Structure 1
Amino acid sequence: MITSPKGKEMIKQITPMYQDSKIEKAIYQAIGNEFDNAEYLINELLLQLFPQTATWGLVLWEQRVGLNTNLSETLEQRRRKVITKLQTRYPITPLAMANILKSYTGADINIVENVSPYTFKIKLTGKEGFPSSLNNLYKTVKKIKPSHLSVEYDLISITQSKIFLGTCMTLGEEITVYPWSPQNIQSIGSVNLALGNNTGTEEITVYPKGDD
C-alpha cells in the first residue's frame, strides 16, 4: 500500500496492469517519499525568507539586523523585534512610528502630536495585556523618535468577559378567618399584585367554630 502523496500521484500515470504490482508499489513508495521530503524542505525554506513566518531562520534575520538572539523569548516576540528593526531604517513619521510599535506590541497605537511644547503622546490600547517590563519598548521609541521631542505614554488594557446575574422575588399572602366572624358580612373587591417572578405562596387558616 502506498502512503506517500507523491507516490500515489505518480503510480496513476503508469499502465493500469502494473498498478497492483507489489514491486511497483514499493518503488513508487520509495520515490514518492523522496519527493515528499523535497517538497517539505522547499516550503520550509520559503517560510524563512520572511521574518513574519521564519522559524529556524529567525537567527539569521537577527544577525542581519544586529539583534542578539534570546531563545527564552517566543517566536512571535523575536519576529516583532526583527520587523521593528527593519522598519526603523526608514524616515520616521507618526504613521511609521505607529506601525513599528504595533508590530512590536500587537496593540492599537494612536500618536497625538503637540500635547505640550515639543512633546507627543503615544496611546497604546491592548486586549491581551502588556508585558511586565516595557523597557525594550521605551528604548525603541527613544531610538526612532526625533531627539528634540519628549514623549508621554498612555497604556490602556481592555479586558473582555461575561457576567451572568440572576434574581428572584418571593411574595407570600396569609389570610386568617376567625370563628367569631359574622357569616352575613360579605367583602367584595379586587386585589392587583405585581410579581417579579412566578413564584408565590398563599396560606389560609380556618379555625373551628366553638360551642356558643
Structure 2
Amino acid sequence: MDNSWMRQNEVDISRYLPKFLLKDKRISCVLAADSAEHELQRLSLQDLQAQFYLSTATWGLSLWEEFVGLPIDRISDYKTRRTRVYSKINGNVIVTPDFLRQLINRYVADKTGQLTEHNEQYYFDVVLPDGKVLSFDELEAALRLYTPAHLGWKYIAQTNAAGGFYVGGIISCAWQITIPADTTYNLEIAGAGEPVIVGCVSSGTETYIPADLFK
C-alpha cells in the first residue's frame, strides 16, 4: 500500500497565511480548529485506504472474511485473521513444498518454520521453532485444507540455544629422582671386631585355678 499521493505531514493551515494574522487570537483559534479537523480527515482517508489491502486491513477484516466466506472473527488478533483470509484466497493453488513452507510460516512469528520431505514414507516433517507458533489450531486447519490426501505430517518442535562448552582439568606432575649407591666406598675395621650379643627375652608366670564343681 502506498499513500504517498496524500499529504504526509500534519495539517497546519496557518503556514499558508501571513504570520501577522496569528497575532489575532480569534483568527489563530479558527485556524487551529480547522487544521485539527483537516488532520482528522487526512488520517481517516489513510485508514480507509489501508482497508483495501489485506496486509494492512484492521477494522475492514470483517469485510474480507465475509468476502471469502469465512465467519467473522472479532476475537483473534489481526495477524491471525489475515492469515486465515490468505489461506482461503489461495485455495486453488498447486500445493508444492515451497507453498506448504510458506503456509506453515504464516503461523510462525519469526518465519523460521521448515518442512522436511519423506517422499518414500509419504509424509513430511513440520519443524517449528519452540514458542513462536501463533496458533496450532489454525496451522492444523490450514494443513488439513491444503495437504494432498495421500500425505501425512509430523510436528517437530525445535529449540535453538547458543552457548559454549568448557572442559577443564588439573594435571599433576611428579619428578622421580634416583640416587645411585656409591659402590666405591670401603669400610675398613682396624683389628678384630668384638662380638655383639643382641637378643630379646620374655618371661611370664602360669597360674592354674581349678574349677569348683561341687559348689
Give the TM bin, normalised by the shorter chain: 0.5 to 0.7
- 1: distance between equivalents of 2:93 and 2:68? 14
1:87 to partner: Cα distance: 2.8
Structure 1 unaligned residues grouped into runs of 5+: 163-212
> Match for residue 116 of structure 1?
120
- 2: distance between equivalents of 1:159 and 1:110? 14
The normalised TM-score by structure 2 is: 0.61
Q: Confirm whether residue 151 of structure 1 aligns to residue 156 of structure 2.
A: no
Structure 1 or 2: more strand by fraction: 1
> Match for residue 6 of structure 1?
11
* Code of the aligned partner of 1:123: V
Structure number, greater radius of gyration: 2
Equivalent pair of 1:83/1:103 in contact (CA under 8 Å): no
1:130 to partner: Cα distance: 4.0
Shift of the 122–69 alpha-carbon distance from structure 1 to 2, 3 Å rule, reads farther
> Match for residue 134 of structure 1?
136
Q: Confirm whether residue 92 of structure 1 aligns to residue 113 of structure 2.
A: no
1:24-35 aligned within 5 A: 24-35=27-38
1:56 to partner: Cα distance: 0.6
- 1: distance between equivalents of 2:21 and 2:138? 64
CA deviation map 1:158-179 (0-9, x unaligned): 27699xxxxxxxxxxxxxxxxx
Q: 2:57 aligns with which of 41, 54, 59?
A: 54
Cα RMSD (Å)? 2.9
Equivalent pair of 1:87/1:100 in contact (CA under 8 Å): no
- 2: distance between equivalents of 1:31 and 1:143? 53
CA deviation map 1:92-136 (0-9, x unaligned): 21101211121134352322334434x1313222242447x7344
Aligned residues: 156
- 2: distance between equivalents of 1:115 and 1:51? 35
Partner of 1:121, secondary structure, is strand
> Match for residue 188 of structure 1?
none
- 2: distance between equivalents of 1:40 and 1:98? 37
> Match for residue 190 of structure 1?
none
1:52 to partner: Cα distance: 2.3
Partner of 1:71, secondary structure, is coil
Partner of 2:113, secondary structure, is strand
Partner of 1:80, secondary structure, is helix
- 1: distance between equivalents of 2:72 and 2:158? 29
* Code of the aligned partner of 1:138: E
Shift of the 129–33 alpha-carbon distance from structure 1 to 2, 3 Å rule, reads closer
Partner of 1:19, secondary structure, is helix
